[in-house]
Amino acid sequence: MKNSIIFLWLLLSVTAQQTSDVTSQHAVSTIQPQKTTILSSEEDYVVTGPYTHDNLAIFLVYNMKMEQKKFISLKKAVAKNKIIVDNRNVINMSNERVYLQKGDIVYSNKHDLVLQNNFVTPANAQKISLAMHSDKIHFRQNYEPRSLPQAKPYIVKLQDIIRNKSEVVGYVCVINGKIHRGDIYATSALFHDEWPKHLALRVQDAIKYKKKTQKALITSQQVEKWLQKISGGEMKVTQYGKTTILTKKERGHIVQVTQYEQQKIHQKFLFCKTE
């Protein structure tokens, strides 16, 4: 009996230590601000365009020094049956890291969850707790993507502008002649997967903020200068395991950079006001 009690105590101690290790690995923490840059010397971004319809203009961003980093989107992982969601845990069964973004919906055996933060799931059957990576996890309730009848002409005109462009990694959106938002990804494949979702959202923005009069359309050179202008400076750092979120809010815009093991995965930048 005494030996059984000792064995049980040792087993509980080991289990508690393992749980503590996992929790500390993925715990959310905020550390000292650090500096980063969108247009770094290791990257060679080129902006082309515009591609336009009505009050919406899209500039494409190319990375001419793109490395072949292995990240795939949640959309592709689900299509390949490589993601398992068990309650609030995600298990990545592929040999590639999966990038999950704020607003993505993951379907568990109990609830559909809307993610509130970006993070990366490691490859090869590693389990990640969603609760560790999101300050808030929203359950989906009667969610239906909004479809506006006015959106179709925009989509038809712009959906194929990235076709057969293997070096395009992002875009900058201009509405009513003013820069509204942009996104740059680590790889072209990742951007191609996310493009339909981004286009649908930017079309919604264009319809929402449409004006009778517009400013003169800006050039690709002006977009490049804008990227350089907002690049750099100190950014707030929040750590989610090996995923790092860098955020900066100043001069009327927001910049957010998602990194995984110091590699940039997604760079997002937007103006706070479009009206």
**Pairing mode, strands 112-114 and 178-185:** unpaired
Lowest mean pLDDT among 134-143, 176-185, 238-247: 134-143
pLDDT for 60: 96
Lowest mean pLDDT among 121-135, 215-229, 258-272: 121-135
Q: What are the pLDDT digits (tens) for 200-241?
A: 999 999 999 998 777 777 899 999 888 888 876 788 898 877
Q: What percent of the chain has pLDDT over 90?
A: 31
Q: How confident is the model at residue 194 (pLDDT cuts 50, 70, 90)?
A: very high
Instruction: Tell me how far apart the alpha carbons of residues 51 and 245 are, in angstroms, rounded to a whole number.
Output: 31
pLDDT for 168: 94
Overall average pLDDT of the 246-250 stretch: 86
Q: What are the pLDDT digits (tens) for 75-85?
A: 888 888 888 77
Q: Which tokens belong to 95?
A: 């040999």
E strand intervals along 74-225: 83-86, 89-92, 97-100, 105-107, 112-114, 119-121, 126-129, 138-139, 168-175, 178-185
> Is 0.85 topped by the overall pTM?
no
Residue 154 has pLDDT above 70, yes or no: yes
Q: How confident is the model at residue 43 (pLDDT cuts 50, 70, 90)?
A: low
Nearest to 154 by CA among 198, 116, 107: 198
Q: How confident is the model at residue 138 (pLDDT cuts 50, 70, 90)?
A: low
Overall average pLDDT of the 188-199 stretch: 93
